[in-house]
Amino acid sequence: MTRSAQPMVRVNFEVCLGIIRQAAVEILMLLNIHAAEGKDPRWFLEQLEVARLNLGNWAAVARRLNLNDAEMSQFTIQLRHLQQQVPGYESGQDVSTNQMIAALRFVSALEQLKEKQPLLHYSTALDTSTPAPEREARQQIRALELMIRGLIHRAWPDRSQLLHHLNTLFGADKVRRWVKMSENDDVLSGMLFSELALLLVDKKEYARHYASIFQSAASLSFLIEPRKTLQAFLEDVRQYRNTLLSGQPLTPTQSTLLDSYFEDISGPVQRAYNEGRTSVNPGALLAANESELAEFYDYARQKNDLVGGDIFDVRSGIDRPEKMNARSKEERQQLIYGALWGVVGIVVITIAIGALMIVSDVATPPAPAAQKNILSEEVDEQRYTSTRSARDVLASMGIRWDENSLRSAIERNDSKVARLFLQGGMEWKVSWTEQLLADESNETLNLLLNYRPQMNELKPCRRMIATIGHAMAQGESLNALRKQYLRAFCTTPAVVKRQKYEMELAQQREVGGGDIEKKWAGIQKAIYRVIE
């Protein structure tokens, strides 16, 4: 079912590494870092970190590359995945499937970057013997979509129960839309690909219905767990599907990736079918003739035209209606406080007006009237805001519910928007704050400390300590906010032990060293004293 013959894997992998080395030199040149030749992925990542330090932050790096914050973040994530999969490589070594996927995904990221930044001229062409036919890609994407539908139908064979379940997960409005757009009385056919994929990779849905098929699959090991790997692969498939629906061909890199994705995703399902554990047969779904392909893609285009395209990412979880409407303890308290202050405000205004009427028979002066209107508007606004969920407020402001929007709010010190995200349950990462900790009066960073349980970065300290150390080496101070963050997240025994080792190592280098070694030893000691 794949086009990639095993003897070609090593060749294609080394071609990918060559593309990356060439691209690294050009990219770094735009960032004022001159290198005679590119090296391995770890070196490229280190040079990007140097560029970030030189330019001030990742936003400045992104501007040089004509990327937005989300695109810059995704670019570095792909490079980190590659660096983790390929810490070192010697020509002729065996290449694993995951290493090949990581290399191809980063080459694909380089293709997208080249489209964004016209000053880049590196080549991303793979040495494939013949370009893959578009028909094969269309077959694979169709088979994946029908396979997902089949797995969902297997979990919910009764139509009425499926409709009730979808109503519970997504709400009646969405389900009515899907039913209206469906064909052959199949509600799943009315869903967008991203919505189908979400129904498969949602944490609860996956654990209850699909883990038995995918969980033991050695093929889905690219990320930390099969479910996350499925999510990442299906998000790429969504983008490839959109490309084909727009009438554009896939690049050779994308076609090769689609091969790998199809094999990794359909493989466990095919094994389950062969063992009699499911009635879904990916092999049969793949064998579609031209008439079946044309019918499938014509309907997909009509559906895209009706809804404006499948533009949303494949997320990791469903925002269930009851979760979106439920209020947190803090929101309930704010609602009560808002109502109480509203009553107090009205009473105060009433008393003030009554007193003015008693004291004088003349008309109320303009200023108190204006004050009354302002106070009334504030009370009304407070009531209005406090009676809506944080997510609804963000939606009314035109702000999308995703991590990148919260990160942008943090970086621009927009505490109002950040608070709404945090009240709505959004998780955050310490790494988003690293360039802002120099500002002692940053209201948003102080706010984040009140939501420590929602910080979901697994090991934030090594990077945070390194960033603070570099900032201090450039003359910045270990201010109160930096100390607060260090104490909040970096006082575990393992972190303290590692920092003590770094301090002692720096002190050893200080002996017989110059001013630079002495300064660095002082920095390591200052950080250690904060967290010990």
Decide which of 357, 388, 419 is a domain's last residue.
Answer: 388
Residue 447 within any structural domain of the chain:
yes
How far is Cα 373 from Cα 378, in angstroms, rounded to an integer? 9
Name, in order, each residue with C-beta under 8 angstroms of 164's C-beta and a sequence gap of 6 or more.
none
The alpha carbon of residue 290 and the mean position of all alpha carbons in its chain are separated, in whole angstroms, by 37
Decide which of 116, 145, 175 is a domain's last residue.
Answer: 116
**What's the total number of domains in the chain?**
4
Residue 121 within any structural domain of the chain:
no
Residue 262 shares a structural domain with residue 140 = yes
Decide which of 321, 339, 370 is a domain's last residue.
Answer: 321
So what's the pLDDT on residue 403? 86
Quick one: three-class SS letters along 213-266?
A: HHCCCCCCCCCCCHHHHHHHHHHHHHHHHHHHHCCCCCCHHHHHHHHHHHHHHH
Place of tokens 């799943």: 188
Residue 141 shares a structural domain with residue 164 = yes
Residue 149 within any structural domain of the chain:
yes
Residue 168 shares a structural domain with residue 203 = yes
So what's the pLDDT on residue 175? 92
Residue 315 shares a structural domain with residue 331 = no
Residue 316 shares a structural domain with residue 346 = no
Residue 257 shares a structural domain with residue 143 = yes
Strand partners, 186: 183
Residue 441 within any structural domain of the chain:
yes
Exposed/middle/buried for residue 53 (C-beta within 10 Å: 0-12, 13-18, 19+)? middle
How far is Cα 409 from Cα 483, in angstroms, rounded to an integer? 22
Residue 169 shares a structural domain with residue 272 = yes
Residue 102 shares a structural domain with residue 183 = no
The ranges of the chain with pLDDT < 70 are 1-7, 127-132, 217, 321-388, 435, 440-441, 512-513
Domain, as residue range, for 82: 6-116
Residue 99 shares a structural domain with residue 194 = no
Residue 243 shares a structural domain with residue 350 = no
Quick one: three-class SS letters along 379-408?
A: HHHHHHHHCCCHHHHHHHCCCCCCHHHHHH
Residue 139 shares a structural domain with residue 199 = yes
Residue 45 shares a structural domain with residue 97 = yes
So what's the pLDDT on residue 115? 92
So what's the pLDDT on residue 343? 57
Residue 404 within any structural domain of the chain:
no
pLDDT digits (tens, 9 = 90+) for 417-444: 888 888 888 889 888 887 677 776 678 8
pLDDT digits (tens, 9 = 90+) for 314-334: 888 887 765 444 444 554 555
